[in-house]
Amino acid sequence: MPRHTEYILFITKVTPSGVAAVAQCNTHLKKDFKILVIQDKNETGIFPEDKKVSKILTCDFQKPHAIEKILQPYKDTIVAATFYGDENAILAAKVFPHVPYLLHTSAASLEWSTDKIAMRQLFEAADPTITPAFTIVKNTDEKSIARIIKKVGFPLVIKPSGLAASLLVTMCYHEDELKKSLQKTFRKIEKIYKENNRTTVPRVLVEQFMEGEMYSVDAYVTAKGDISFCPMVYVKTGKTIGFDDFFNYMRITPTQLKETTIEKAHVVAKKAIHAVNLRSTTVHIELMRTEDGWKIIELGPRIGGFRNAMYKLSHNIEHRTNDLLLHLGEKPIIPKKQQAYVSVLKLYAKKEGILKKVNGIRKIKKLASIKDIQLNLKSGDACLYSKHGGKAVCDIILAHKHRPQLLADIRRVEQSINIELE
Amino acid sequence: MKKTSDNFLVPLTLVGKLYDHMIKVVKPTEVTKEKNILLYVGKLFPHMYYALKEFEKTEDRKFRLALIYDSKTKLDEFTEKIVDKLDIVIPCDFSSDAALHEALIPLQDEILVLTTRSEDQISALARVVPYVPFVHTPTETSLLWATDKIAMRKHLRNYDKSITPAFMVVKDTEKKSIKTIIDTLTFPVIVKPAGLAASRLVGICYHKEELSDFLKKVFREIEAVYKADGGNGIPKVLVEEFMEGQQYSIDAYVSDVGRMYFCPMVSVKTGKAIGFDDFFGYLQMTPTLLNEESIAQAEHVAEQSIRAMALRSTTVHVELLKTEQGWKVIELGPRIGGFRHMLYEFAFDFNHTANDILIRLPKKPQIKKKEQGYAAAMKFFAKEEGKLVKLAGIKKIQELKSLKKLYINKKVGDTCKFAKHGGSSVFNIILVNKNRSELLADIRRLEQTVDIQVE
């Protein structure tokens, strides 16, 4: 191994955009970083998507000595380590202690910020006003139900701890619904944890439902805790378009929020980041704008879904490159000039069933705003709601210089796409 | 023929129910000279009758309840239920100045209050106002402005551009008109036929093709709907910029000298928020979760809108939108808002119907701001348009603890249309609970229980 080779370590996987980000870093910093990927041998089916530029190391992440052994030859040459996706945070927490001289967040912070319960507890400790009332449940007995009603009240949201997205997230308005939903959740949670290769112990968070509008923001946290924010993103959930499900139906950036409102959101987001002691990481924060001010829904020590594409199109922000710069101790570059309005739509079938056909894809490809259409399911696949572990039938990225034209194209997409079930 | 309050003459052509009314009016009364008539225009519902009886007790005073209505139209089913209990009923041809004159001049010194309850009777009220000069009323001009969405927008924008969206008026669907809209306004836009109540023929358009198609549809249907609903004036269509935000409403009482008294705010969830492509008021609930600062700001904007319309001596229902740029006025009407008498009675224990009388006396309305509970009014529409084939779950929802009133408007076989196509709800329901969580739980149970099927 030549001494001059410097590596950027990706935990579990590197996406094509990650590969591109390394190339951009190389150009920007006049370097020649290579990509190194470390994988858990138990994580089957996840491989680097661009093998040509990756060096892949595989070991058992359950054994610290196995990680140490496989990293040993590279330790002096790894200059940064990062990961993509919520599900890889726990794996990163196992790897980071073996590369102690790099800029990354602590393993404990990674665990806290991927555990909905620990997160809530830390938020509450930092500032109770930024988080809703909550309690933790391990079973469905009468005592637990009584505690939920007393401590949280209705309406409430059931959130299995440690699950990403809106998997098994359920809203309950009364006791009967709570009992049924909790039983269902505990029955399914084990199965989903297994399918998602979860190694953590299932626990369920029950929290007060917050009424308001949902937003999110990605931020870069330096080693010293300084925070730079990317533009805010408005999020419309499935609930607001008639689904009994919390999936993120539409994201749109920039928002219509005033500067003063954004500043207030930043104050609350900062409190949340500092509450879980995150540093040297990109953070994705979901917020609720309520009548009583901004509240934290949750955060993750990662780049938010679709944010790489959204920020690139809206402000020419190289989000993944910034994530690497942050880990390299460099300042992220956040251009302020807006290039376009960007939206991501996740389309689900109105009912659950077997997918027959998706009509209208060809038609919407002609729309001026369309940037990307990703079909996630094919004919014969099961269409399930997000709360039941289902994926969107398709994801659509749209961008336009003018907001009204973007909204018009969103409307055309909504009117053109017809998801047929058998 | 000359009429006096002691000797009314009514056209002999009136038969049946009208004959009874005639008898009631013709029969001389011993207290006819006392100024104690509460005259309602067009409609008087049972709940109002009972609220006014309560008011009599509170005031320790007797009133004569009177109704004047256009003899060319049928009384609605709710007024029919109460009409026999009224002291004076005056069917009158509202298109005839002479008829109005003959019907009202003899009562001029006896009418204490002139008012109306319904949005669709405001222009009728405006017709009556000049004949009842010795009571506190809004000017007929301000009433007419308030019934015309276009005049309303003009007055609001003249008063303060920041409280209302940009708009324009369309009279046809020619390419030139569409182009002018596109050049003048920013999409999305809301299309609203002027002079139609509720959300009739109201639609949102995001782009040129949608606007063109929708306008054509509106102009095709508007004549028929105007005719059926008694819409006001020559068909004109208002196109205004769509404002993004959370909808609320507030009822206010405006005194003869412009003093405003605000009732508690009501949050409004439209059909759009539950997946319909329609703007009907799905859920209206009070008290809201708004903080005092937000309410004060909303009241300020509502007050501006009332001043813009030069309204006085009336209750005003103001629909507002809470946007990032502050509170905006959707529209306002010189009347009590739909379901508001019940929402305010159940949630705050005050008599909205009585306050509507008090402000016209003029006396200070009695508003209680301390919540007694939470109240919600809901309108249920079929998810699709068609013939109603099943309405299930009605019996079960009557067991809900929060249920106060249930009004079933359609039966199996009736046509279900969206509000924007001139349709009315399948049923309306009023729910009340001391505890907000329990009210929300019952709303959830209701939504999960009711099954409206069409074919």
pLDDT digits (tens, 9 = 90+) for B225-271: 666 655 555 678 999 999 999 999 999 999 999 999 999 999 999 99
What's residue A417's pLDDT?
96
Residues B258 and B311 in one domain: yes
Residues A94 and A138 in one domain: no
Flag if B437 and A257 touch (Cβ within 8 Å): no
Whether residue A307 lies inside any domain: the answer is yes
Whether residue A116 lies inside any domain: the answer is no
Whether residue A120 lies inside any domain: the answer is no
Structural domain boundaries enclosing A40: 7-102
Return the number of CB contacts < 8 Å for A and B: 65
Who among A213, A242, A407 is closest to B275 (CB)?
A: A242
Whether residue A138 lies inside any domain: the answer is yes
Give the residue from chain B lying closest to A239, CA to CA.
B274
pLDDT band at B16 (very low <50, low <70, confident <90, very high): very low
pLDDT band at A199 (very low <50, low <70, confident <90, very high): low
Handedness of CA A410, A412, A415, A417 (dihedral sign): negative
Predicted confidence (pLDDT) per residue in A253-288, tens digit? 999 999 999 999 999 999 999 999 999 999 999 999
Contact list, B210 vs chain A (CB under 8 Å): 408, 411
Flag if A404 and B186 touch (Cβ within 8 Å): yes
Provide the number of structural domains found in chain A: 4
pLDDT band at A70 (very low <50, low <70, confident <90, very high): very high
Contact list, A405 vs chain B (CB under 8 Å): 187, 207
Flag if B444 and A177 touch (Cβ within 8 Å): yes
Residues B185 and B207 in one domain: yes
What's residue A155's pLDDT?
95
What's residue A189's pLDDT?
78
Q: How far is A244 from chain B (nearest CA, A)?
A: 10
Residues A321 and A361 in one domain: no
Task: Please give the average per-residue pLDDT across B102-109, as a whole number.
Answer: 94
Average pLDDT, chain A: 91
Predicted confidence (pLDDT) per residue in B189-229, tens digit? 999 887 665 667 888 999 999 999 999 988 887 777 666 65
- Proportion of chain B above pLDDT 70, given as a percent: 90
pLDDT surpasses 50 at A387: yes
Residues A230 and A314 in one domain: yes
What's residue B113's pLDDT?
97
What's residue B196's pLDDT?
65
Q: How far is A68 from chain B (nearest CA, A)?
A: 52
pLDDT surpasses 60 at B31: no
Residue A404: phi and psi, rounded to 5, are -60, -35
pLDDT surpasses 90 at A197: no
Residues B213 and B282 in one domain: no
Structural domain boundaries enclosing B259: 246-454
Whether residue A73 lies inside any domain: the answer is yes
Predicted confidence (pLDDT) per residue in A320-376, tens digit? 999 999 999 999 999 999 999 999 999 999 999 999 999 999 999 999 999 999 999
Task: Please give the average per-residue pLDDT across A121-139, as a whole number.
Answer: 95
Q: How far apart are the first and last CA of chain A?
A: 56
What's residue B1's pLDDT?
36
CATH number where B208 lies? 3.30.1490.20
Residues A30 and A86 in one domain: yes
Encoded tokens for B78: 């709710």
Whether residue A363 lies inside any domain: the answer is yes
ipTM (interface pTM): 0.84
CATH number where A57 lies? 3.40.50
Q: How far is A270 from chain B (nearest CA, A)?
A: 22
Residues A218 and A298 in one domain: yes
CA distances from B278 to A151, B203, B263, B284, B383 (A): 38, 7, 27, 16, 10
pLDDT surpasses 90 at B17: no
Residues B317 and B423 in one domain: yes
pLDDT band at B32 (very low <50, low <70, confident <90, very high): low
